[in-house]
Amino acid sequence: MSQQLQDYTKTIGFPYTDSVILAFIGGSQLHGAKLADTDDTDWYGLFIEPPEKALGTDSYEHFVHTTGGQRGGNRPSDTDVTLYSLRKWAHLACKGNPSVLHFLFAPPEFQHVLWGRLALKSQLFLAKSHLGAFLGYANAQLRRLLSQQGQKNCHRPFLENEHGYDTKYAMHITRLLHEVKELMEAGTITLPRPERELLIDIRRGRFKLYELEQMNNELEVAALAAQAKSALPDRVDRAAVSRAISQTYLDYWDMQLAT
């Protein structure tokens, strides 16, 4: 990991800085839909906790830090950091969590050789059943966007005032549907997104809300059709994932003992 990022994670209180095996910049920058002077910086990563945390009674699975948290969204100068233990990440990936699946396909700022080896086995973590998780996230976000469900404060008032709806939130709905369609068709998620110009146009409010609803309905139908023809397995082989993850832990701990 870069010395700058390593130093930063230490200053924000992350206790296992030396055990990070993957770090990348996510969010709108990862998707290719970042607008200048509007978005914060989102760091994501994975770490391998020491044996007493992985095997003992006191686990350590997740670390989150933000310099923002203001109503209406973070400022461009803000930084968010989200780190998962490898075991926690694998658990979420097996469920098809869209955000954690990005870890398999994001261009890394840093990666340990053991993560590189595991990422080559990305198919272990992919399945047709992941379509349900993506559609669940997309539809829940749509209901929130339409104020039919969830927290109103997830919106950005300045975007609603300008465009009539939260365009950034709307962009992420369309992005999710494009991603899962590609996942079903090709077994991968391209990052940054090939349709990033479309995503930027959505962010800039160049679509009416009813146009986005129609577009997203068509994408959902296409994703369902792609699932029916997909070469992915029906479900993740969790036993195979467990073997791969446990071997990664053992190899990492052996490397640490050797140094």
Do 104 and 142 sit in the same domain of this protein?
no
Residue 122: left (phi > 0), alpha (psi -120 to 50), or beta? Answer: alpha
- Contact present, 26 and 42 (Cβ < 8 Å): yes
Q: Band of the pLDDT at 153, cuts 50, 70, 90?
A: very low
How many whole angstroms separate alpha carbon 149 and alpha carbon 145? 8
For residue 250, tell me if it sits in a domain. Answer: no
The candidate with the shortest Cα–Cα distance to 171, out of 215, 203, 213, is 203
Task: Identify the sign of the CA torsion 9, 10, 12, 17.
Answer: positive
Do 163 and 210 sit in the same domain of this protein?
yes
Mean pLDDT of the chain: 91
pTM equals 0.91
pLDDT digits (tens, 9 = 90+) for 76-108: 778 899 999 999 999 999 999 999 999 999 999
Q: Which comes out higher in pLDDT, residue 38 or 196?
A: 196
Our CA angle for 251, 257, 259, nearest 5°, is 105
CATH number at residue 39: 3.30.460
What pLDDT, on the 0 to 100 scale, is given for residue 143? 83
Do 168 and 135 sit in the same domain of this protein?
yes
Residue 186 CA to its chain's centroid (Å): 18
What pLDDT, on the 0 to 100 scale, is given for residue 152? 47
Do 143 and 111 sit in the same domain of this protein?
no
For residue 203, tell me if it sits in a domain. Answer: yes
Do 106 and 184 sit in the same domain of this protein?
no
Helices (H), the chain: 3-11, 27-31, 51-54, 86-94, 98-101, 113-119, 130-145, 157-163, 167-186, 196-203, 209-229, 238-258
Which residue range forms the structural domain that includes residue 190?
130-229
Say whether pLDDT at 53 is over 50.
Answer: yes
How many whole angstroms separate alpha carbon 165 and alpha carbon 142? 11
Q: Which comes out higher in pLDDT, residue 232 or 38?
A: 232
What pLDDT, on the 0 to 100 scale, is given for residue 77? 75
Token digits for 234? 């029906």
Number of domains in the chain: 2
Q: Which residues contact 207 (CB under 8 A, 6 or more apart)?
A: 170, 201, 215
Strands 41-47 and 79-85: parallel
Task: Identify the sign of the CA torsion 169, 170, 176, 182.
Answer: negative
**β-sheet bridge partners, residue 47:** 20, 85
For residue 222, tell me if it sits in a domain. Answer: yes
Do 114 and 158 sit in the same domain of this protein?
no
What percent of the chain is modeled with pLDDT above 70?
92
Q: What is the mean pLDDT of residues 23-37?
A: 90
